[in-house]
A and B are shown apart, each in its own frame.
Chain A
Amino acid sequence: MPSLFVIQGRDQGSRYDLDAPTVSVGRVASNTIQLHDTEVSREHALLERSGDSYQFRDLGSSNGSFINRQPVGEHLLASGDQIQLGKTLLLYTGISQEMPDLSGEIDIVSSASKDDESRILHAVSQTDSSDLLTGPSDGQASPWLARARSNLQIMYRTALAVSHTLDIDQLLSRIMEMIFEWVDADRGCIMLKNERTGELAPRVRRHRRGVQTEDKITISQTILDYVVERNEGVLTSNARDDQRWNPAHSIVKLGVREAICVPMQGRYDVVGVIYIDTSLTPQRMLQERTTTKFTQEHLKLMVAIAHQAALAVEDTSYYKAMVQAERLAAIGQTIASLSHHIKNILQGVRGGSYLMELAMQDHATAIEAGELDTETATQAMETMQKGWKIVERNQERISGLVMDMLTFSKEREPEPVASELNDVVQDVVELMQTRAQEVDVKLAFDPTADIPTSMFDPEAIHRAVLNIVTNAIDACEDCDRREVSVSTMFDDGGKMAVIEIQDSGVGIAEEDLDEIFTVFVSGKGGRGTGLGLPVSQKIFQEHGGTIRVDSEPGAGSKFRLELPLHEAPINQPALIEDDDLSDSDVHGDTLAPTAD
């Protein structure tokens, strides 16, 4: 099945199998493939099945479509094509691969041309060439050559099979399947060595159609040890058992069981073994006058196949280990960053509570000494209030951190309900007013009246706006002019609401602008988690919106939050009233997310 694989962009790692006759790609959810990329148009492109492949058609997108870096309108996709839509890069894999056109690179010149002075020395006709296969003198077809060719074919297909997958089990079953196509085996299995214990464990088992399968495959430990330790493939048969030739246990009665067991020798170590066996029925033995089916050549080829498979297994393990190592490194960084931040919060809590502790001690001492006058009491009270404020602030901080962590970590879909954007922003401004006053920042809100009720996740947008307003206030803290103005606008043409947050703070250096949405990169030193802006951006992107930043170091920053509006459905007014009720419940929650 043809497929699209996102190799760059926010949806990186997503894979889409193309099975419908038409597949639409765009930013909004109505598309077959939704790309969370603000530079992708709402309805960006259409793929239409055409034979084995798909015809790609750009639907007049604003930023255009590029295939293999060339701008395209329409294009018949070929395997390996790279499609760039906005910031998203997709890889198309088709069923069949087209042969590249080499006509431009190889010239066929006419005989009259002087460039080529070759002349024909020998000519071989089709019939003559097949003479090669008939062998030297006896005129019979050369079984050696035929086998050699077939072996080459097998090796080629093995190489192909192992190069196509990174899933070990899938890889092993392909190898097994190929072996069965090639050799007349009844049963087979592949065992891999456990990296830690060194024990062999079966991973793939297969049997030929029509073969009785209730028997377990029994493999002698001696043979396995021999194969693994000596690193040699073996061909075994029970035909040589002395008993066999005893007339009492006639070979004709039992048949012969043969097996091939080969080591999977990788670059460094034996990673496992491949085992196949077959039994010759008495009838067949009589018919073909032989007691062997497997040959030396089978054995040799099996060793070669196993080697190829082992290399692939090693590569895959190596790749997995790399991915795992990277994952662990990322986890380590995450933990380091979070604990650093939590440590700072804890430090704040300790500071606040220590102030309170001292104030309480002072108070108690004064009472004991009977010297409690108004001045001492007031002083103690003031210290306590100061301490309590600090404790509270840090409580809020840890609560915000947890909220951000949740938003960032869970693959949470926005839950759009009919909401008023101005109300949500108003909530944020009211919530932050206390903090703004503490650091002497003037926080103003200037809403636009004409924003219609629309569908979005009020809780998420609240979080997103809150993070940016918090940053704006923090940015002003050490400045002379301390103003943060929040405003909302409505762009009817773009069906978009805009929230603007302008501060008179320190601003962001140009070289840092690219980094501000990177997780765990904080411009606020110890105060920032490095989660706030990435979380805000994630929320807006999930809503199909975007965040733009203008900043001038020393003069302040302007964050422009663009939210595409989807009008709330206006049918069934009774239901909408219910919706509004539940919606205001949500508001109730978001009003004080830190009060719990």
Chain B
Amino acid sequence: MHADRVLIVDQSSESREVLAALLARSGTTAIEASRASEALTLTEQLHPELIVLDADSDPSTDLQATRELTAAARRTNTPIVLLGKIAGSHLALDPYELLAKPYHYGNLIRRIEDVLEQRRAA
């Protein structure tokens, strides 16, 4: 069984760095993408077990790519943990976890591990 891979989509390299470092502690591999469009390609190529999407950091651009990413995730049944509050329901996400900002990293890591756990059990 290979290590779980989590795709982190966040415009801020700093946030990616923190999360990647935290995930590494539990033996989870992080794949990083700064934009939703980039994440889309990576999702299709690498099939991560989970996507952590910061959809709040870049509200003005890339909405279309974000939508495509969530659609692709739904297709491949990849769970998404969504960070930040998204205005309206334009993303139409089905099974997702939402963490409002500012969140605590402890909570985030627990959520990620829960979701991965469920997935493994399923």
Contacts and interface: CB of A to CB of B under 8 A. Distances in A.
Interface in A77-118: none
A393 B58 contact: no
Given A351-B14, A354-B22, A386-B17, A525 B105 contact: no
Nearest to B62: A525
A383 B105 CA distance: 15
B106 interface: yes
A526 B101 CA distance: 12
A355 B14 contact: no
B15 A358 contact: no
B90 interface: no
B61 interface: yes
Contact of A347 (B11, B59, B60, B102): B102
Contact of B105 (A344, A351, A393, A477): A351
B15 A348 contact: yes
Contacts of B25: 358
Given A354-B104, A525-B11, A526-B12, A344 B57 contact: yes
B82 to A, nearest CB: 14
Contact of B57 (A390, A393, A477, A527): A527
B12 A344 contact: yes
Given A355-B22, A358-B25, A350 B105 contact: yes
For chain B, the bracket of interface size reads: 20 to 34
Interface string A520-536: 00000111000000000
B102 A346 contact: yes
Interface in B18-71: 18-19, 21-22, 25, 34, 54, 56-61
Given A478-B34, A525-B58, A525-B59, A347 B101 contact: yes
Contacts of A346: 102
Q: Give the dominant DSSP class at A's interface.
A: helix
Contacts of B18: 351-352, 354-355, 387, 390
A121 B57 CA distance: 84
Interface string A372-397: 00000000000100110010010000
A199 B71 CA distance: 61
Interface string B84-104: 000000000000000001111
Contacts of A592: none
B14 A348 contact: yes
B13 interface: yes
Interface string A336-361: 00000001101110111011001000
A351 B11 CA distance: 15
A348 B57 CA distance: 12
Contact of A390 (B14, B58, B61): B14
B89 to A, nearest CB: 20
A5 to B, nearest CB: 36
A348 B106 CA distance: 14
A439 B21 CA distance: 17
Among B54, B101, B103, B104, chain A packs the most CB atoms within 10 A around the CB of B101
B21 A355 contact: yes
B117 to A, nearest CB: 20
Interface of B: 11-15, 17-19, 21-22, 25, 34, 54, 56-61, 101-106
10 closest Cβ pairs, A-B complex:
A526-B57, A525-B58, A351-B18, A354-B105, A346-B102, A347-B102, A525-B11, A343-B102, A343-B101, A525-B57
22 contacts: A344-B57, A347-B101, A347-B102, A347-B103, A348-B12, A348-B15, A350-B103, A350-B104, A351-B14, A355-B22, A358-B25, A386-B17, A386-B21, A387-B18, A390-B14, A525-B11, A525-B57, A526-B56, A526-B58, A526-B59, A527-B12, A527-B57
Given A343-B102, A350-B105, A525-B61, 8 more contacts: A344-B12, A348-B12, A351-B18, A351-B105, A354-B22, A355-B18, A355-B22, A526-B59
